[in-house]
Structure 1
């Protein structure tokens, strides 16, 4: 009976995985089809596997330029988030006074605020900063990076905060006795020990920032500044949709994230579990 139950559970897990992966199958097989094949049978395999439509999709969506914009935004945003959030969490844990606890709770509280409730007021504020303070917050990669940092820091501080609590204070005291100042204590002793959480923050933020459509669509208006998700919108016209090119473009969009995730997925559970210590 136990063996039958185990087989049933495994069957259900496989079935759920197939259901979950089914949309990816649809996008993949239809990215190799012409429009006639696609409309004839969406589920069937293509008659021939040719990368012709991938080449057309790359040309239409200016893939290399969009890829470069997405890469700059993602790398710079995550680098700053990691540096600021790790230092902030470390100071919150090591000071551990009332002000630190209040500030930490403020960071945690901002995680539950939906972006949709603040996006229009935020755009008005950023427009005011552009017009009155001459700070290019709209239609610039720097402005989008700045906003990504603001939205991504809270979760990163939360994850780092739990892990820092598991680091013995005696290690930092020993480094201080050996002549290290606070800067060296953090970067040479504390930060290397935060590797699991850093990997988790990096993976989660790569998936979020790379695939984000809403915020870049509000901030970036120039074609030359479009990210990859914005570029895929070029296939969806007002009256016609080039579904085969759109499918190829979507595959080009998600492939870098899939590769990155598969190469680093082992750090996700490890980092989240480590960050949950002594919360």
Structure 2
């Protein structure tokens, strides 16, 4: 009797997983198949399979959206922002985890407290400061904003890894003649790799797909990211779905590649954090 109940529960679990997988993948499937249709077919029946595969939609999207330029901007802004986020949060979390004085405690409270402030509250003062510094519609302004907003969450993730590294590692490095900077880069940072991968993938996902900050701070043809280029296809009275949907597919492919390359490290980082918790 127990075996029968266990089998039924297992089948129910599998069925639930299949349903959840379908609900998760269905929107991607709809976008993909509609990206291969002409505009009139998309508008008439968006849920049907395409009668013919119109791969020319992708070549048109590549040209109209100026994908090489938009992709280059997105890669540059994402890569530089994530680079600074990783190293600044890794170093600060390591430093604070090794110092238990009032100053380090205050710094940590400020970092964590800043995560509770919604971006809508910061938006107007941020624009005023960046405009005064001549950083509106510049790579510098966008990158600084992403680093500042992403810092608190990335710090909290990194702090878990830094706290989990025993102090004996620092002492052993010092006995071998390492300076504090050498201890961090040669001993501590390599031990944080799984957590670094988690921070990298989460921040790459966020910055790559981010729209609001880019719309406010990078809203020129020269600095346009992929998300802004795709958004330009959505007008007040009409939408160029046959261009926008292939553009969405093009924007998703690099993210999938990054995830596949880092998935082992991401899982290791999550398990590492769960065990330490």
Query: TM-score normalised to the size of structure 2?
Result: 0.94
Counterpart check, 1:95 vs 2:78: no
Q: Mind listing any 5+ residue stretches in structure 1 that lack a counterpart?
A: 131-136
Deviation at 1:3, TM superposition (A): 0.6
Q: Which residue of 1 is the match for residue 137 of structure 2?
A: 139
Deviation at 1:276, TM superposition (A): 5.1
Contact 1:162 1:278 in 2 (8 A): yes
Counterpart check, 1:265 vs 2:269: no
User: What is the CA deviation profile of residues 110-138 of structure 1, one whole-angstrom value per residue up to 9, with x for unaligned ones?
Assistant: 222221222122112211222xxxxxx11
Q: Which residue of 2 is the match for residue 233 of structure 1?
A: 231
Q: Distance between the aligned counterparts of 2:178 and 2:262, measured in 1? A: 33
Moved more, 193-202 or 166-175: 166-175
Q: Which residue of 2 is the match for residue 200 of structure 1?
A: 198
Q: Distance between the aligned counterparts of 2:266 and 2:114, measured in 1? A: 22
Q: Which residue of 1 is the match for residue 208 of structure 2?
A: 210
Q: Residue 10 of structure 2 is aligned with which of 2, 6, 16?
A: 6
Q: Distance between the aligned counterparts of 2:275 and 2:216, measured in 1? A: 38
Q: Residue 181 of structure 1 is aligned with which of 179, 182, 191?
A: 179
Contact 1:159 1:276 in 2 (8 A): no
Moved more, 235-244 or 201-210: 235-244
Query: TM-score normalised to the size of structure 1?
Result: 0.93
Q: Mind listing any 5+ residue stretches in structure 2 that lack a counterpart?
A: none
Q: Which residue of 1 is the match for residue 86 of structure 2?
A: 82
- Root-mean-square deviation (CA), in Å? 1.5
Deviation at 1:187, TM superposition (A): 0.5
Contact 1:163 1:277 in 2 (8 A): no
Moved over 3 A (4+): 275-279
Contact 1:74 1:209 in 2 (8 A): yes
Deviation at 1:97, TM superposition (A): 1.6
